[in-house]
Chains A and B, each alone.
Chain A
Amino acid sequence: MTEQREAPGGPNGSGLEDSLLSVRDLTVRFRTTEGEVHAVNGLSLDLEKGETLAIVGESGSGKSVTSLAIMGLLPGEATVEGSVKFDGRELLGLSDRKMRRLRGRDISMVFQDAMTSLDPVFTVGNQIIETIKAHNPSIGAKDARARAVELLDVVGIAAPHRRVDDFPHEMSGGMRQRAMIAVAIANEPSVLIADEPTTALDVTIQAQVMEALALAQDATGAAILLITHDLGLVASYADRVLVMYGGFAFEMGQADEVFYRSKNPYTLGLLNSIPRADRRDEQLQLIRGAPPTAVRKPVGCVFAPRCDFAEDVCAEQVPPLIEVGSGHHSRCHFASSSDFIVDETDGGVADLRSRRSIEYEEAAPVLEVKNLVKHFPVRDGFFKRSTAVVKAVNGVDLTVGKQESLGIVGESGSGKTTVARCILRMTEPTSGSIKFKGLEIQDLEESEMRELRKDLQLVFQDPYASLNPRMTVREIVAEPLKIHGWSKSESRKRVVELLEAVGLSEGHLTRYPHEFSGGQRQRIGIARSLSLGPSLLILDEPVSALDVSVQAQVLNMLDSLQAAFDLAYIYIAHDLSVVRHVSDRVAVMYLGEVVETADSDQLYESPAHPYTHSLLSAVPVPDPTSARSQKRIVLEGDIPDPSDLPGGCAFHTRCPIAQDTCEVEKPPLRSIADGHMVACHFFLEPGETLENRRAKTINQYQLKKNVDQY
């Protein structure tokens, strides 16, 4: 370990002038009605030609503000100090006109939401041409258009000469994001800032977009500043990493250094608290509390209130950025003196799964879904005639045992949420049977259903939208009790019990939802769902809206509640890593069908369906070495339109190993091992990968062709 010293003038010490983009002591403060917020505090970074630097952080870490400060796009009430040099030229304080000339030509940006960042009234091609012309007015119309087509081709859009005339709404989400990358690289910028470029996208689409970004980087040689909260993405795509927290750089270094030899309690906490798809975590380590969203003038270390290793000095002095290895810096008073090993016996670690030893197979199932179908007619025109049918769910079978957790995984449009809504009878299924504790839900009268709702509850994805902002916590949690006629005093007692069960206290009763952080709000929502003592809880993406370090708290809490309240869970998610952590069994859905179901370990270790395979391979793993060795199968195209399903196997249009049979014959869901069912004609054996299967298929095809010739 190197000697402890404060790095002078920033992380790279010497050679400042060489880097393409160099930020020194960047400070951004916002004046708000509630005082001054220190959004970025003395940040320094260097971006070299052609490299990818990831800024990773949770909400409020200042990562987005940093990127906007570099682009000169911060609003007027922000005070920006320090220095941002591009190619040796100071950008801060540059006039808007000069800055505009730089933006798009030298430094370009890819935003999170292509739908709002692309102009809906112009075609994609026009927007690329406009960008080209803004910096190269002399270019001819024909050349500009040719260039636009070429750019769309670079980012991997099929049939670019046709797509160039599409409007943004005519493209799918992933394609739009790729089109935006094409706009961003139109003038071959030397720096490309990508702010959460794939956050709103499904994993297989995320893989496509990241691929497009890599292609764009190859084609232009641009350096990429990747801003993200996803450590998996960082491990897979970044050369160097900057970890931000509360407006400070907490750790910076080569990706391998930060992931394997982190010298920072926050980074370590973050790495340990994320569930991973590539291994079964018996426990998720917790970081207490929630990240700060509005930092006042910092006195000590901003992470100290949540840190297991904090000592007196942490509350008094802002820790320096200490060099802990070659090009590796960490902001912690103890960066070079402690190894930050968590004492596993203290309360910081929750070990819950091992406590659960109930043999759920033997108990009668709580829920049995058989051949569930839900088609939505699309009504159009004056007479509201049905013009098409969206086939959201096409024959789904599910069983959930007592205290069992069933994970349902699928991308958007897979029908997973519709299944949940049918089970809760929030929408009427087209056909099929749903039996809850032996009762056929469809046959129940309104009043019987109301009784049954006590037993069957739902936790929503969005903790902001699912709590009425005008009701206090007490009113929110007591609402189901009120509906079911509990007396005031009974319900009051119950509410306090519930709040304590989810880690909140009586003192929160009169507060309103907006006064809580996302994680706390989700706890309130969970307390409400538990109020009537349900035996089955359907969780629809309960942590996807939360910060990474807070997700683990909620997941662990769900785990402990399961035992305490005797609950069965249906856990709906697009995030394979989270599902692995919480589920006993997993069902993978694609276009309204279950394509594979198995015990969670079996599914993740030996997936049989090619779709499961490609999903798993698309998940970025927060581990640079395995990320590098990970064979990423990028599925082509998008999920087909559920109103126009492909015939035969619905997956054949994207399947890397599809054969002629798949186009005509629908594979049934059949058992291939104990409890392992798969719907594929050519499912993969344990240990077999899509690559060697594809190689084999091609050989056979060649062989067959040869035979045919003779």
Chain B
Amino acid sequence: MVTDVAMEPLGLEAEPSVGQSPSSRAWRRFRRNKLAIGGLFFLTLVTVMSILAPWIAQDPNAVDLSVVLQPPSTEHWLGTDQAGRDVFARVLYGGRVSLLIGFASAISTVFIGLVFGTIAGYRGGVFDWIFMRLVEVVLSFPTLVLIIFFVTRFGRNVTTIVLVMALFQWPISGRLVRNMTVAIKEQEFVQAARAFGARGLHTTVRHLIPAAIGPLTVAGTLLAAQAILIESALSFLGFGLSPPTASWGSILNEAQNLTILETMPWLWIPPGLLITLTVLSINFVGDGLRDALDPRTSEMS
């Protein structure tokens, strides 16, 4: 009914605009999404600040027992903790860890999912059957408990956490890619490519992966956000990186105290707020990317 009035802006006589590369038009589509732009700005800010931490903040692990639990001041912008460490510095250094874990595990998860999902979807048959059963098995694990087990068994460091998260999260992206591949494989444009003599590799690279990239990017941002949250939860439970390494979660963990929660908000509001805003920003950017990566999205606002 409403398809009857669907937009088709270009008439046969209409002059097409020349010289706009697909990527510049994708950027224009992204720019339309104000939330995504805001999210991108915030993420960039947090990332740059974290990277520049050694130059703009003090030593995060320097203990100074003469200034414990001090409120924010010009000397310590966000006050100090129980060991007299500078909270501002710990938050920035903590951001390095949290963001690194978030992005590294998202990228590895997406990569594993893309490889297995494409193969399973394209080859089908027994391979697909095994893949899907494996996905179901892994998704039914109690993830957090297993992550705690692996982290305590193999060491509380960034590499272990990233690998373990990839190990338990890949089914999410893998199943997504597999389902996309199965659907796209049956599309007429893929059959057309086969009728032109295309091999499997061409079809995969030109048709299957580009179609999966959009949803996969969105899944990737969600996974990054989730990894940050899982790391926070791990640290909060005391199974995160070994002290004194700071992460947003471990700073929160140290604030587990009624007095601190009631009277010393500078110890828990900054990391809590950063976790929330970062995860939110990543989600906004994911939405924006999904629209930007689909050329069918309108460029007009």
A residues engaging B (CB < 8 A)?
30, 32-34, 37, 39, 59-65, 68, 73-75, 288-290, 292-294, 305, 424, 426, 449-451, 453-454, 457-458, 460, 462, 465-472, 479-480, 482-484, 503, 505-508, 510-512, 514-517, 519-520, 525, 528, 532
Contact = CB atoms under 8 A, between A and B. Distances in A.
Interface stretch (B6-14, B33-41, B244-252, B271-279): B6-14
A457 B10 contact: no
A449 B210 contact: no
B1 A65 contact: yes
Given A479-B196, A514-B296, A465 B19 contact: no
Contacts of B9: 34, 294, 515
Contacts of A514: 295-296
Contacts of A519: 12
Given A293-B6, A426-B191, A469 B295 contact: yes
A34 B193 contact: no
Contact of A510 (B15, B21, B192, B195): B21
Contact of B2 (A30, A480, A506): A30
A470 B211 contact: yes
A469 B12 contact: no
Contacts of A516: 8, 10
Contacts of A68: 1
Given A290-B8, A512-B296, 10 more contacts: A39-B4, A289-B11, A294-B6, A294-B9, A458-B195, A466-B191, A467-B189, A483-B199, A515-B10, A516-B10
B192 A460 contact: yes
Interface of chain A, helix or strand or loop or mixed?
loop
Contacts of B10: 511, 515-517, 520
Interface string B1-31: 1101111111111011111111000000000
B5 A39 contact: yes
B5 A294 contact: yes
A37 B5 contact: yes
Contacts, number: 147
Contacts of A512: 22, 295-296
Given A293-B5, A467-B189, A305 B13 contact: yes
A290 B7 CA distance: 13
Interface in B270-301: 294-296, 298, 300-301
Contacts of B210: 468, 470-471
A462 B15 CA distance: 25
Interface string B174-215: 000000000000011101111111110010001100110000
13 contacts: A63-B4, A290-B8, A293-B8, A294-B9, A305-B11, A424-B195, A449-B197, A466-B191, A468-B189, A468-B210, A507-B16, A512-B296, A525-B192
A629 B6 CA distance: 39
A516 B19 CA distance: 17
The list of the 4 closest CB pairs from A to B, nearest first, reads: A450-B197, A480-B196, A466-B188, A453-B197
Contacts of B20: 510
Interface string B42-55: 00000000000000
Given A65-B5, A290-B11, A483 B193 contact: yes
A196 to B, nearest CB: 11
Contacts of B188: 460, 462, 465-466
A219 to B, nearest CB: 28
Contacts of A457: 195-196
A426 B196 contact: no
Given A65-B4, A465-B187, A469-B295, A517 B195 contact: no
A58 to B, nearest CB: 10
Interface in B250-266: none
A261 B194 CA distance: 51
Contacts of B197: 449-451, 453-454, 480, 483-484
Highest count of chain A CB atoms <10 Å: which of B2, B5, B189: B5
Contact of B298 (A33, A460, A465): A33
B177 to A, nearest CB: 15
A159 to B, nearest CB: 35
B189 A465 contact: yes
Contact of A505 (B16, B296, B300): B16
A272 B194 CA distance: 38
B16 A479 contact: no
Contacts of A460: 188, 191-192
Contact of A483 (B196, B211, B294, B298): B196
Contact of A64 (B1, B7, B18, B295): B1
Contacts of B191: 426, 460, 466
Contacts of B19: 510
Given A64-B1, A510-B22, A469 B296 contact: yes
Given A30-B2, A62-B4, A516-B10, A511 B16 contact: yes
A192 to B, nearest CB: 18
A522 to B, nearest CB: 12
A470 B295 contact: yes
Contacts of B301: 33
Given A426-B194, A470-B210, A293 B15 contact: no
A532 B198 CA distance: 13
A283 to B, nearest CB: 20
A520 B22 CA distance: 20
Given A479-B196, A479-B206, A514-B295, A30 B18 contact: no
A30 B12 contact: no
